[in-house]
Structure 1
C-alpha cells in the first residue's frame, strides 16, 4: 500500500506563505533518522531533505499565499495547500495520512488525520522536513531583503523582536493582514 504523508509549516507565523509537502516513501529504499522536523538540527534536516528528494517514490511541495491566507483564513488556506501538495504527487497514493486533527477534501482518495503524526508516521515526518526546509529558506531570503525584521531568526513567528520590528517599521507586503498582531501594528484593530 502506498501511503502519502502530508504536513504543513507556517500556520502560526505573521508573515509568508503556509508551506505544505506530501511524500510517498519507497519501502525498498528506507531513510534512516526521519523524525518531526522541529526535533532535528538544521544540519540533519538539510541532509534528510536531500535524501528524501532522492529516495522517495514521489514528493511535492505546495503552498497557499499570504493573499489566500487573508482571504480564506489560515485553516482553510492550509487545507488548500495540503490538497495542492497531494495533487502535485507524480504517483497516486492508496492512502493519505495527514498530520493534525482534520483532513482536506481529497475527493475519492482515502485520508486520515493523525495527531502528532510527524512523530508517528515516517511519510509525515518526511513531509514535515521538506516543508520546514523550504519555508525556513524563504524566511532567510526575506531576511536578506528586510534585515530590520530578523526573519532568519524567528522565521516570522510573533516573537518579542518581531513585534517590536512590526511596531517600528510597519508591515511589509508579505505580512498576513488578517492576523491580529499585524492589524494592531497597522492601527487597524
Structure 2
C-alpha cells in the first residue's frame, strides 16, 4: 500500500531540541552480485518534496529525477558508504551492511544528533538512533536515503554490465532473477559475484527452485480455471 512519507518522527525529535537528524538506508543487501550501498541524508527542517517516497515504490525514471533533486540541493547533506562483494564474502552481508552505514554516517561533515534507520535492528555506532519498521515509507529522511542508495547502486551495476555484459546486470541489478540465474549457470560467477551466497555457488539448484515455484503456480492457476461456474 502506498503511504506518503512525512516528518512525523523528525518533528518529535526537533521538539526535544534535536537539530541534525540523519536518515539512513541501504540498497543491495539481498543481491547475489555487486556492492551493498548505504546512504545517510540530513534534510533541512522545511524540506518538501511531494513525490519522495520509498525508492522501491518509485519508477526508475522518477527515482533518478528525485535523486537529482536531492543531490543538487545545497541544503541537503548526504553521503554514501560502499562495501564491495569481496568484503561482503569476508565479513558476511549483515556486518557489511552495518559497515556501509557507519561509513556513510562517518562521512557527514557535521555528525548527526540522532539517526533514523529503516528496519528493526539497531546499528552499532555511537549516535542516538531510532529504528522504524517500514521507515522508508514513513520518514522523509529515510526515504531520501533509500533513493540515494538505490540510484547510486543501480548506476554502479549498469557500469558493471559494460564489463560483464553476459550477465545483464543492467536489467536485474545483481538480484536473483531467473535471467540472472540462467546466465550464472551458463557462465559461472564473475569477480563481483558474492561467492558466500548459496545461489552463486549452486546456481542450477536455485534455478530449479524458481522453476518448481512457477510450475506449482501454473498448476494452481489451472485448477482455478477448471472450477465449474456453479461452484465459483
Q: Same fold (TM over 0.5)?
A: yes
Ranges in structure 2 where 5+ consecutive residues have no aligned partner: 1-18, 206-232
Q: Which residue of 2 aligns with 1:95?
A: 114
* Distance in 2 (alpha carbons) for counterparts of 1:140 and 1:54: 22
Given the alignment of the two structures, is residue 152 of structure 1 paired with residue 170 of structure 2, yes or no? yes
TM-score, L = length of structure 1: 0.93
- Answer whether contact 2:22 2:112 (CA < 8 A) is retained: yes
Matches for 1:91-170 after TM superposition, within 5 Å: 91-107=110-126, 109-170=127-188
- For CA contacts below 8 A with separation 6 or more, give which structure has more relative contact order: 1
Larger radius of gyration: 2
What SS does structure 2 have at the residue aligned with 1:61? strand
* Distance in 2 (alpha carbons) for counterparts of 1:105 and 1:80: 9
How big is the shift at 1:58?
1.1
Q: Which residue of 2 aligns with 1:65?
A: 84
Q: Which runs of 4+ in 1 moved over 6 A?
A: none
Q: 1:80 aligns with which of 83, 91, 99?
A: 99
TM-score, L = length of structure 2: 0.77
Moved more, 165-174 or 57-66: 57-66
Q: Which residue of 2 aligns with 1:183?
A: 201
What SS does structure 1 have at the residue aligned with 2:72? helix
- Answer whether contact 2:70 2:76 (CA < 8 A) is retained: no
Q: Which has the higher helix share?
A: 2
How big is the shift at 1:31?
2.9
Moved more, 82-91 or 28-37: 28-37
What SS does structure 2 have at the residue aligned with 1:171? coil
- Per-residue Cα deviation, 1:39-91 (whole angstroms, up to 9, x for no partner): 11112111111111122431001111211110111111101100111111122
- Answer whether contact 2:32 2:175 (CA < 8 A) is retained: yes
Ranges in structure 1 where 5+ consecutive residues have no aligned partner: none
How big is the shift at 1:186?
9.8
- Per-residue Cα deviation, 1:110-158 (whole angstroms, up to 9, x for no partner): 0111111000000000000000001111111111221211111111111
Given the alignment of the two structures, is residue 6 of structure 1 paired with residue 31 of structure 2, yes or no? no
- Answer whether contact 1:80 1:104 (CA < 8 A) is retained: no
- Answer whether contact 1:5 1:24 (CA < 8 A) is retained: yes
